[in-house]
Structure 1
């Protein structure tokens, strides 16, 4: 079996590969796919947006934001270009407008106004510095806000948001990624008759600071903790995310999605891997993998396993058949290759290939 050091060294050279690329699976000889697998594939195909990218984008949206008082609150520019008049407290804008590369609404403002610290620009830190995942006109951001102290019920109107924040109470912004097919107009996302497909959502709690906080506090960015740890991680359950203190956040990563990890941290005996600036996944909620696209051939009747290590009893791979594989992982303490969305085969059941960069395990 490969040592952990060997696995990690292998993973390093694949750091530039995106999750979307790695999730493509197409067996050469079609295996018996479960209905659940087929449903997931079809669901992604409906919108043309990979669910892993949706969750990755949402993962870079902060759960908590502390902003400076004054000019960081909602402005007339926000109202003019993002607020939907008569839309029951809805803001609508593009995915690129919720990133540091293009801070919300700055494109419409006079550069001298320096709006780079406005409210929405604080939501997304894009910690890993990669590009936008689906910056196209079919995907939009719908956001509403509610008062956490209950002083105003329902969605807050534009003018109410600043009032609640200035009173010292926090406001939760409900961020949703919405998809509309074809050639959508803005009203297709938020109009009275609009029925966009909601791809994912996340809550952002906004609090106004005193103005004396450090830059790290203002941006919800604490000094990095743990140790550097480059790799990829695939969830085996719907996995909750945690902050650097081991406290659960409101975000959950879907089962069978792939994530870049860059730090490893142990809190109270539990190990976590970082997937965003202050969002960590538990080690036991997934498996560490590295990409290795290849064609493999079985040397005997080969059992299949889920990434959680459970044997798939209603099918197996026939001897001397070839299969497309896109990644290697350690399942049940064995080196295994993936041949379908959540179907893995042991190295011990495969013919050795001199052209492969990975030695077959000998357990």
Structure 2
């Protein structure tokens, strides 16, 4: 039997209910080659159009992985953008292109990369991009754990979580990997790009792959605390016997300026400062 671990006290029960988002409908023109070993659909990295003259025009943007000292550093969330838009090639199948250069980075894979054109308008990255910072300042900047990003992700599959370095989290005292159950919803506070994919942070040292769930649109009537937040009455008097836990969402029906500070009402006579929410 699987055991699921709770992180930061954030569980599906603590989040406000949000209507589920329908799963995307996959194109019937997708080819069987675009599946993994389990038969799951693999999202194309880009696209192309057939120009009818033996050439193909590429579309989209790819991401370059940033490495530091042989160990994966932590990009600031966007990685290095590599545009294919408008690039014209003259062969279908696997093609080899020269990798772009970026100031402050060295490319580490023989200066080239490969793309696979599948014959149906989809482009897949056949060999990826590995860039190494050329100075310690950039390397140190890349260790930042992503960028702030506020959303809620509802898992569509049992999701194995990973730590800040991208390695799977293990259940203490076992050889089992920690998983979060399908159908549960989790508050996201940061995102980062690592190992070719986008990951969302749902707890301290706990990340999930973006592909394991669907994002839910932000509710304008919900505020989420960024730290333990004090409560105040409508007259600005501090409530001394309780507070709101950090990283928890709360329904609000109105805002007001109280004693010169913007606040949101989260109960009949309890308000939280705007400076204490994300």
TM-score (ref. length: structure 2): 0.25
Which structure: greater strand fraction? 2
Which structure: greater helix fraction? 1
